[in-house]
Amino acid sequence: MNLNDQFADGDILIDDAATADDVADKPASAAPKAAPRLPQMMRRIPVTLTLEVGSARISLQELMAIGPDSVLPLDAMAGEPLVIKVNGAPIGRAEVVVAGEQYGLKVIDLDGLNLDLITS
């Protein structure tokens, strides 16, 4: 079973480390906003969600020299949050987590996800 099958009903992973006490300690202004409801016809539109670790600009000659033991430095620092992209557009930042036997993502913030524009 893949993630698409597991979350076909729109479920998302919740961080099990958060407890009721953690939620109670947060001020009301820090409470997450409710996700906007999408029209039924839009709920099944597929999008590609990717996490970008970083990038490197190299020459074609350097590309041709890459082998199994090659190491390429990226423009991101170790421990830095990864960029969440939807269909290539950055929408936020996340950390990689282990979800069962698969990798998952823990969302840190969402900057560019504005569903209000498409739902109004």
User: Domains (ranges, CATH) in the chain?
Assistant: 38-119 (2.30.330.10)
Q: Output the pLDDT for position 32.
A: 55
Residue 4: count other Cβ atoms within 10 Å of its Cβ: 8
Answer whether residue 1 shows pLDDT above 50: no
More confident residue, 89 or 32: 89
- 36: Cβ contacts below 8 Å, ≥ 6 apart: 115, 116, 119
| Range list of β-strands (E), the chain | 49-52, 82-86, 89-99, 102-110
Residue 33 pLDDT grade (very low, low, confident, very high; cuts 50, 70, 90)? low
Q: Output the pLDDT for position 55.
A: 92
pTM score over 0.95: no
Q: What are phi and psi of 66, to 5 degrees?
A: -70, 135
